[in-house]
Amino acid sequence: MQNSLTPGTRVMTTTGLFATVVAVDNEDVVLEIAPGIETRWVKAAIGRVVTPPATLRRVTSRPLTRPSSARRARRSPRPPWSATATRTPARRSPD
């Protein structure tokens, strides 16, 4: 896969960085990670070639609704991190 890299190819590095190949030089690849920002990587750091999805799903304008069980769970009386939660007092060192 690393040998088939050409300028313009979208890739993901092994660390999860998405970029576009700008240039290939022996064992190095120059990646554009943002417009005008280029970095040099070793070819072995390219994890995979990213292909765009064949078709995109149509987004509906219908509002999202929660199931009734989620609404009930949201109405819990008090979150566990509330100010009324008990704390262990700090210990003082003997003088």
Quote the pLDDT of residue 52. 73
Quote the pLDDT of residue 57. 60
Q: Which two tokens stand for residue 27?
A: 């064992």
| Phi-psi region at 26: left, alpha or beta (left = phi > 0; alpha = psi -120 to 50) | left
Buried b (16+ CB within 10 A) or exposed e, 33-55: eeeeeeeebeeeebeeeeeeeee
Quote the pLDDT of residue 51. 83
Cα atoms in the Cβ-side hemisphere of radius 13 Å centred on 11 = 29
- Specify the pTM: 0.53
Q: Which two tokens stand for residue 93?
A: 């060192």
Task: Indicate the CATH number for domain 2-49.
Answer: 2.30.30
Q: Which residues of the chain have pLDDT under 70?
A: 1-3, 53-91, 93, 95
- Per residue in 33-47, pLDDT (tens digit) is 999 999 999 999 999
